[in-house]
Chains A and B, each alone.
Chain A
Amino acid sequence: MELLSVVLSVLVRGVGIGSTYALLAVGFVIIYRATDVVNFAQPALMILGSYFTALYVHNAGMPFPVAVIAAMATMAVIGALTERVALRPMVGEPPFSAAMVTVGVFFALFILSFRLIGTNPISTGEPWGFARLVVGDFEFRQIDIARTVLSLGAIGLTGLFLQRSKAGLAMRATAMDQETALAQGVNVGRMFGLSWAISGALAALAGVMISAGSGGTVPLDAFIALKALPVIILGGLDSIKGSVVAGLIIGVVEAIALSFNTTLTPLIGENFYLVVPYIIMILALMVRPYGLFGTAEVQRV
């Protein structure tokens, strides 16, 4: 019972954080599929999302769920504007140049988030904190359940939108063949903007989920978002399904490494679990360079 309980709690923790990594990765994938650009600004969008949630809770007095939705909407607008101003002029240029522009956007927004947040953590007013949920003999952290449900829920809704709606169909068509999409009357530029809007909204939610259950949001949390890189490399840059599977794998493996941390510390040092995702990434690159679900031709930037 003791062992089962430990295993379960490690699994739940891993799935929770892994779902959040998946959510971050899906933001990358959506922009990559629509525009062929790897969006390195995603982590900064995430931090700004947390910032706006905190702002809406503390300064506008919104209840937490409403503030999250409003922050997602705000980041959707900021995402679409970024695309229009910084990325649209790069259409037709090599994807590598466009990816460099997103690095520039990252630094601009990152510096902005320092200005806005400062160095002290801000709280989004999230309701989970360190609260626990007891089910029979088992005890879980509520935040892990919330992360799993909300992250996978948001990914599911995004998938449903892409699969079922008219705009989703047009986005997928644009991803497959831009010229043919144009010939069907699809406004391809608008689809680029839409992909950034969706990624911005998902990034905002990911920001809230990442910082929840910790002491609050600081700009340096952006570096947690770098965990999305091993996820998209393992799952494939162009696959939402791959992001989910890879996110869960990396989350769970990281949670396992963390649970052995005290045992292993004398051998390999204290923060070994932090590098585990990158070790998986390197292994994945050696075995399947285009990811578990990715397309073989996908070009790496």
Chain B
Amino acid sequence: MLAVENLEVVYEDVILVLKGVSLSVPEGGIVALLGANGAGKTTVLRAITGLLDIHRGEVTKGKVTLDDRPIHHLSAPQTVAAGIGQVMEGRRTFVEFTVEENLRIGAHTAERGTVEANLDRVYTLFPRLAERRRQVSGYLSGGEQQMLVIGRALMAQPRVLLLDEPSLGLAPLIVQQIRDLIVDINQQGTSVLLVEQNANMALSIASHGYILETGKVVMDKPADVLREDEDVREFYLGLREEGASSFRDVKHYKRRKRWLS
């Protein structure tokens, strides 16, 4: 189990961005971490994967554990070796590499003997990548690039896969495909922490969800409960009122509306 406990993160020694975040991803589960732009979702992932220091960030309180072993002081390569795989926000393929080179670099920490079998596995999951294996990845479509970076993360056979907004900027049909693929990957035995602004997609496959607002978890509930929650529906499921810019603003707006009527 991957657990984040009471995590506090500060950038540049002064900017407090996470103010005591706790969440957990059970073995074999899919957990959604939702929140508006700037809430701190990516920062949570950086704390888990050892990427805070290159952003001048630091864990100042709390911890991250994988099966009770603290991992928040490990370097990025060490977290990969420990079994954490991640797909960063904005896809980040190595654009000058071919599809296959992108996948091979994903296996950098893996044992040599596993590489060919994992290539086969990824090409079976994503037949479109197999067709384009010699093509330079910069020329792939957005959806194909997303599949490529997910495949790249799988090359290290992670126990937990962290996905940062995989649906961002993709057409609804492609989002459906990505969603189904995440379910497939999960069923093959990888736990998933799915960071999304697209709550609809995330809550349709997650068993549990957390909602993050300016560095705090404001909701922590089973996914079906969140799906039915009025505030969540209003703000995160596309039923948002005009002008609302955060979860709290929605509440304000509603209060004012009640007062007026």
Contact = CB atoms under 8 A, between A and B. Distances in A.
A266 interface: no
B77 A173 contact: no
A170 B95 contact: no
Interface stretch (B80-88, B116-124, B166-174, B220-228): B80-88
B108 A166 contact: yes
Interface string B108-149: 110000000000000000000000000000000000000000
A160 to B, nearest CB: 15
A180 B81 CA distance: 15
A186 B77 contact: yes
Contacts of A173: 94, 97, 105
Contact of A184 (B50, B95, B106): B106
Contacts of B95: 176
Contacts of B49: 183
Contact of A182 (B51, B104, B106, B156): B51
Interface in B42-73: 49-51, 54
A185 B109 contact: yes
A183 B80 contact: yes
Given A173-B97, A185-B76, A185-B156, A180 B92 contact: yes
B184 interface: no
Contacts of B88: 179-180, 183
A239 to B, nearest CB: 12
Contacts of B27: none
A177 B94 contact: yes
Nearest to B56: A92
A180 B94 contact: yes
Contact of B80 (A92, A169, A184): A184
Contacts of B81: 185
A185 B97 contact: no
Contacts of A169: 101, 104-105, 108
Given A170-B108, A183-B86, A185-B108, A176 B94 contact: yes
A179 B51 CA distance: 8
Q: Which of B75, B77, B101, B106 has the most CB of A within 10 A?
A: B77
Contacts of B105: 169-170, 173, 181, 184, 186
A181 B108 CA distance: 9
B139 to A, nearest CB: 15
A84 interface: no
Contacts of A262: none
Contacts of A179: 51, 54, 88, 92
A183 B76 contact: yes
Q: Which of B51, B80, B94, B156 has the most CB of A within 10 A?
A: B94
Contact of A177 (B77, B92, B106, B108): B92
B51 to A, nearest CB: 6
Nearest to B152: A184
Contacts of B241: none
A93 to B, nearest CB: 13
A271 interface: no
Contacts of B76: 182-183, 185
A44 to B, nearest CB: 31
B229 interface: no
Interface in A177-198: 177-187
Contacts of B51: 179, 182-183
Contact of A186 (B86, B96, B101, B108): B108
A294 to B, nearest CB: 14
Given A182-B77, A184-B108, A185-B81, 12 more contacts: A169-B108, A173-B94, A176-B97, A181-B105, A183-B76, A183-B80, A183-B92, A184-B106, A184-B109, A185-B108, A186-B105, A186-B108
11 contacts: A166-B108, A173-B97, A179-B54, A180-B92, A183-B49, A183-B51, A183-B88, A184-B105, A185-B76, A185-B80, A187-B75
